[in-house]
Amino acid sequence: MEKFAFTDEYEIRATPKMLLPYLATPSGLLAWFAEDVTPASSDKNELDIVWDSTHHQARLTVNKSIGLVRYQFGGLQQVGQEPSYLEFKIGYSELTGTSFLRITDFSEMNHLAELQSLWEGLISKLKTAVGDRALARA
């Protein structure tokens, strides 16, 4: 099946240092993104992420303190097919003191309206978790 790249950007009133643990750690992801997140092996970068009561194997492939986090999902890929991934990139405005979280969701899900609704709901949970109550309702 062909994959689709959904990319969107969200404003969050939090510093990148405050936001990064919510994107790059199992406990952070558990606060807003998934029903459960546990290490899948002794390798701390291998995770079992549960959402909609379904287990998804993920590998943290990029974790940079500059605000770039990427998870690769799934096991074996068809020859020539790029694996599904989820990427978070944090930008920051010194002028406004807000972060901008760019999300790229590269997967087989290609329904734009559903993806927008899904990510708006998740970002609302993230804003609440980091204490951005004013924007959580936006």
Q: Which two tokens stand for residue 32?
A: 């807003």
Residue ranges of the domains in the chain? 4-136
Q: Buried (b) or exposed (e) across 56-84, using 16+ Cβ within 10 A?
A: bebbbeeeeeebbbbbbbeeeeeeeeeeb
Q: Which CATH number fits domain 4-136: 3.40.50.970, 3.30.360.10, 3.20.20.70, 3.30.530.20?
A: 3.30.530.20
Q: Which residue, among 80, 79, 67, 71, has the nearest Cα to 107 in the 3D structure? A: 71
Predicted pLDDT of residue 81: 75
User: Can you give the pTM of this predicted structure?
Assistant: 0.88
pLDDT less than 70: residues of the chain: 1, 75-80, 133-138
Predicted pLDDT of residue 44: 83
DSSP at 111: -
